C-alpha cells in the first residue's frame, strides 16, 4: 500500500512508500521541472507548482483531471496509447509530447514516466515534464527557414557550402558539386582546410574566426577540384545564427578563375603594348652608347694611349645598355605577382631610366623630389614598374609640345608612400575623370583604354588608392598612395 504525502499542508491526495515520504515530498515540491503522480487509470493524484505554472492550472484544478484531459491526442495517438499500456511491463517511458494549456494553446514537454510499485502489487506513475516549448518553436522556425531557403541553397548559381563550428563541411549545393567534381558524401565531415591552397590557409582561418564571432567577411582563395586542378574563388562568409548563438557558417563562393585569367591576359597585353610604344625610344637610347663603343673600339685599335679611361667610359655605356634591356624585359615578361620588400625610390628611378629616351624625343624633362628618407615597402616590383610606366607615359603624351613632369615621393603619417606625378598638359575635364579606368574608354586617338584599368587593378592589389586631380590649361596630378605593409602580420613575417 501507499500512504499519503502532502507537499502542501492542505493536501488530500498522493501516494508514496512510507520510508521515502519526507525525501520525496521535498524533492517533488522543490523540483525545477513539472512533476505529477498519476494512478493506473490516468487520474492525476498530485502535482507540483512548476507543472501548474507550465500548464496554467491551479493545483486543485489539475487534481480533478485525468491525464487524457491535458495530453494531446491528435498526434501520435496510437503510439502514445500503446506505450502507456506497456508501462506496467517496461516500467519507464520517455517521449516528447504536447500538453494542453488552460488557455487552449499547446505546450511541448519532454515526458519521463517511471513506475512506483507498492507493497501489495499495485502501482502509480511518477511523471516528470521538462518544458520544450521554446526549443520546439525555434526548431519549427528553423524548419520553415530550411524549407523556404532550401531551393535558394541548392540551386544558387554560386557555390554554397555549410561549415560547422569546427570547420568541417556539412553540406554543399549543386553548383559546388558541378564545379569541383565532388559529391556531398565525399566532402561531408572533412575539414575545409584540406581543400584550400596552403598559401591561403592563414587568410581563410581569419575569415572563419570572424564568422564564428558573428561577423561577415570576404576573401579570395584557391581551392582544389577533384581532378587535382585549382580554381580561384571569391569567398563571402556569413554566420548561421540560431537565436543569439552562431551554430555554423555559410561560405558563398564565386568562381573567378576565368576573370583572373582574363585580367592577367589584359595586363600582359598592356605590357606588350607599352613595350612596343617604347621600342623607338629604346632603340635610340641603345644606338647612342653603341656608337660611342664602336668609336672607342676603333680608337683603341689604332694604338691610342690612355686606355684605362676609355675602358671606364666603355663599361659605363655597356652598363647603361644592360639596365635598359633589363627593365624592358622586366616589363614585358609575364610573371606571377610576388610581393617582396623593395625601395620605392629605386623603382621610380628604374622606370625613369627606361622612359628617358622617349622623354628626350618628346622634349620632356623629369624632376624627382623625395621628401626626407623613405621606408621600404611591400610590393610586386614588376607590377609597380608597369603602373608607373603607364602613368608617366600618359603624362608624356599629355604634353605634345614638351614640358616638365614632376615626380614627388613622400612617406605619410598613416604609414603610406605617396607618389605624386604632375604634368603640364592641357588637363582633363572634371566630367571625364570618373570615366578614366573604364575598359576601352580613352581620350587618345590610338588608345585602348586598358592602361588605366590595369593601373587601377595594380593599385587595388597593393591595397592602395589612385586619385586624379586636374585643372584645364594647367595640367594633371595623379596621386598613388600605397601602404608600407600590405598585410601587416604576414608581411612583417616575410620581412624577417
What are the tens digits of pLDDT across the range 337-352? Answer: 578 889 999 999 988 8
How far, in Å, are 180, 256, 489 from residue 162 at the CA level? Answer: 15, 20, 28
Asked if residue 4 is part of any domain, the answer here is: no
Comparing 289 with 38, the larger pLDDT belongs to 38
Residues 226 and 298 in one domain: no
Asked if residue 243 is part of any domain, the answer here is: yes
Under the banding of pLDDT at 50, 70 and 90, the label for residue 448 is very low
Q: Which residue has the cell 561549415?
A: 163
**Domain end position, chosen among 131, 163, 187:** 131
How far apart CA 276 and CA 255 sit, in angstroms, is 34
Residues 266 and 396 in one domain: yes
How far apart CA 181 and CA 224 sit, in angstroms, is 10
User: Would you say residue 106 has pLDDT above 50?
Assistant: yes
Under the banding of pLDDT at 50, 70 and 90, the label for residue 306 is low
Instruction: Give the domain range for residue 82.
Output: 18-131
Predicted local confidence at residue 56, as pLDDT: 92
Query: Looking at residues 321-335, what average pLDDT do you find?
Result: 60
**Domain end position, chosen among 223, 240, 255:** 255
Q: What are 455-492's pLDDT values in tens digits?
A: 888 888 888 999 999 888 899 999 999 998 865 434 43
Asked if residue 11 is part of any domain, the answer here is: no
Are 233 and 256 contacting, i.e. CB atoms less than 8 angstroms apart?
Answer: yes
Order of all β-strands in the sheet with 217-224: 169-172, 159-163, 245-255, 230-242, 217-224
Residues 378 and 476 in one domain: yes
Out of 65-74, 288-297, 412-421, pick the least confident: 288-297
Number of domains, the chain: 3
Q: Is 224 left (phi over 0), alpha (psi -120 to 50) or beta?
A: beta
Out of 9-13, 106-110, 247-251, 422-426, pick the least confident: 9-13
Residues 100 and 176 in one domain: no
Residues 248 and 265 in one domain: no
Angle at 482 between CA 476 and CA 484, to 5 degrees: 150
Segments of 349-415 assigned E as strands: 364-371, 377-380, 403-411
Asked if residue 2 is part of any domain, the answer here is: no
Residues 358 and 460 in one domain: yes
How far apart CA 73 and CA 316 sit, in angstroms, is 101
How far apart CA 423 and CA 271 sit, in angstroms, is 22
User: Would you say residue 292 has pLDDT above 80?
Assistant: no
CATH of the domain at 115: 3.30.450.20
CATH of the domain at 469: 3.30.565.10
Are 424 and 399 contacting, i.e. CB atoms less than 8 angstroms apart?
Answer: yes
Query: Looking at residues 157-167, what average pLDDT do you find?
Result: 87
Residues 423 and 277 in one domain: yes
Asked if residue 12 is part of any domain, the answer here is: no
The C-alpha cell that represents 1 in the structure block = 500500500
Predicted local confidence at residue 166, as pLDDT: 86
**Domain end position, chosen among 255, 272, 291:** 255
Under the banding of pLDDT at 50, 70 and 90, the label for residue 365 is very high
Asked if residue 7 is part of any domain, the answer here is: no
Q: What are 3-58's pLDDT values in tens digits?
A: 444 444 444 444 455 555 677 778 888 888 999 988 888 889 889 999 999 999 99
How far apart CA 338 and CA 326 sit, in angstroms, is 18
DSSP letter at 372 equals S
Predicted local confidence at residue 116, as pLDDT: 76
Residues 303 and 421 in one domain: yes
Contacts for 191 with CB less than 8 Å, ≥ 6 apart: 166, 167, 168, 169
Residues 178 and 325 in one domain: no
Q: What are 172-199's pLDDT values in tens digits?
A: 888 899 888 998 888 888 888 888 988 8
Asked if residue 369 is part of any domain, the answer here is: yes
Measured from the Cβ of residue 126, the count of other Cβ atoms closer than 10 Å reads 20
Are 485 and 375 contacting, i.e. CB atoms less than 8 angstroms apart?
Answer: no
Pairing type for strands 416-422 and 403-411 reads antiparallel
Predicted local confidence at residue 486, as pLDDT: 67
Predicted local confidence at residue 323, as pLDDT: 64
Under the banding of pLDDT at 50, 70 and 90, the label for residue 103 is very high
Predicted local confidence at residue 6, as pLDDT: 47
Q: What are 192-238's pLDDT values in tens digits?
A: 888 898 888 888 888 899 888 888 888 888 999 898 888 889 999 98
How far apart CA 229 and CA 244 sit, in angstroms, is 40
> Of all helices (H) and strands (E), which one includes residue 264?
helix 257-301
What is the secondary structure of 161-190 as a DSSP string? EEE-TTSBEEEE-HHHHHHH---HHHHTTS
Residues 347 and 384 in one domain: yes
User: Would you say residue 243 has pLDDT above 90?
Assistant: no
Residues 286 and 408 in one domain: yes
Comparing 403 with 314, the larger pLDDT belongs to 403
Tell me the HSE value of 457 on the side-chain side, using a 13 A CA sphere: 19
How far, in Å, are 84, 453, 491 from residue 127 at the CA level? Answer: 12, 74, 64
Asked if residue 1 is part of any domain, the answer here is: no
> Of all helices (H) and strands (E), which one includes residue 230?
strand 230-242
DSSP letter at 463 equals T
How far apart CA 346 and CA 327 sit, in angstroms, is 12
Predicted local confidence at residue 495, as pLDDT: 41
Residues 170 and 313 in one domain: no
Under the banding of pLDDT at 50, 70 and 90, the label for residue 410 is very high
Amino acid at each position: 500500500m501507499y500512504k499519503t504525502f502532502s507537499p502542501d499542508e492542505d493536501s488530500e491526495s498522493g501516494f508514496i512508500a512510507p520510508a521515502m515520504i519526507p525525501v520525496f515530498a521535498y524533492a517533488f515540491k522543490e523540483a525545477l521541472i513539472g512533476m505529477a503522480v498519476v494512478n493506473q487509470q490516468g487520474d492525476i493524484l498530485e502535482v507540483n507548482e512548476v507543472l501548474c505554472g507550465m500548464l496554467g492550472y491551479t493545483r486543485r484544478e489539475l487534481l480533478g483531471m485525468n491525464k487524457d484531459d491535458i495530453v494531446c491526442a491528435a498526434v501520435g495517438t496510437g503510439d502514445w496509447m500503446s506505450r502507456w499500456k506497456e508501462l506496467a511491463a517496461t516500467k519507464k517511458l520517455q517521449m516528447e509530447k504536447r500538453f494542453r494549456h488552460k488557455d487552449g494553446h499547446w505546450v511541448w514537454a519532454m515526458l519521463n514516466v517511471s513506475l512506483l510499485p507498492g507493497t501489495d502489487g499495485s502501482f502509480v506513475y511518477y511523471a516528470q515534464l521538462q518544458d520544450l516549448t521554446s526549443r520546439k518553436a525555434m526548431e519549427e522556425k528553423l524548419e520553415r527557414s530550411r524549407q523556404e531557403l532550401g531551393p535558394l541553397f541548392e540551386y544558387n548559381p554560386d557555390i554554397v557550402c555549410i561549415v560547422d563550428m569546427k570547420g568541417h563541411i556539412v553540406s554543399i549545393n549543386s553548383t559546388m558539386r558541378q564545379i569541383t567534381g565532388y559529391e556531398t558524401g565525399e566532402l561531408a565531415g572533412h575539414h575545409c582546410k584540406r581543400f584550400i591552397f596552403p598559401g591561403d590557409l592563414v587568410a581563410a582561418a581569419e575569415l572563419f574566426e570572424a564568422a564564428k564571432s558573428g561577423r561577415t567577411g570576404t576573401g579570395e582563395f584557391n581551392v582544389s577540384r577533384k581532378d587535382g586542378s585549382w580554381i580561384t574563388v571569391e569567398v563571402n562568409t556569413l554566420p548561421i545564427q540560431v537565436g543569439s548563438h552562431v551554430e555554423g557558417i555559410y561560405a558563398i563562393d564565386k568562381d573567378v578563375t576565368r576573370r583572373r585569367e582574363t585580367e592577367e591576359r589584359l595586363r600582359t597585353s598592356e605590357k606588350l603594348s607599352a613595350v612596343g610604344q617604347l621600342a623607338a625610344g629604346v632603340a635610340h637610347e641603345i644606338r647612342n652608347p653603341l656608337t660611342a663603343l664602336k668609336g672607342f673600339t676603333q680608337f683603341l685599335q689604332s694604338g691610342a694611349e690612355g686606355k684605362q679611361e676609355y675602358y671606364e667610359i666603355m663599361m659605363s655605356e655597356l652598363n647603361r645598355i644592360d639596365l635598359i634591356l633589363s627593365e624592358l624585359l622586366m616589363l614585358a615578361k609575364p610573371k606571377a605577382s610576388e610581393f617582396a620588400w623593395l625601395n620605392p625610390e629605386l623603382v621610380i628611378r628604374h622606370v625613369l631610366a627606361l622612359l628617358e629616351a622617349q622623354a628626350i624625343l618628346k622634349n620632356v624633362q623629369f624632376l624627382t623630389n623625395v621628401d626626407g628618407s623613405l621606408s621600404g615597402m611591400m610590393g610586386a616590383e614588376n607590377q609597380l614598374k608597369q603602373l608607373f610606366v603607364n602613368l608617366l607615359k600618359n603624362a608624356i603624351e599629355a604634353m605634345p609640345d614638351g614640358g616638365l613632369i614632376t615626380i614627388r615621393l613622400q612617406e605619410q603619417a598613416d604609414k603610406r608612400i605617396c607618389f605624386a606625378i604632375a604634368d603640364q598638359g592641357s588637363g582633363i575635364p572634371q566630367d571625364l575623370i570618373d570615366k578614366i579606368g573604364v575598359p576601352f574608354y580613352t581620350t587618345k586617338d590610338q588608345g585602348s583604354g586598358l592602361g588605366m584599368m590595369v593601373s587601377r587593378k595594380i593599385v587595388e592589389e597593393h591595397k592602395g588608392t589612385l586619385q586624379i586631380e586636374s585643372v584645364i590649361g594647367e595640367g594633371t596630378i595623379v596621386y598613388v598612395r600605397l601602404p608600407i605593409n600590405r598585410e601587416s602580420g604576414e608581411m612583417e613575417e616575410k620581412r624577417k
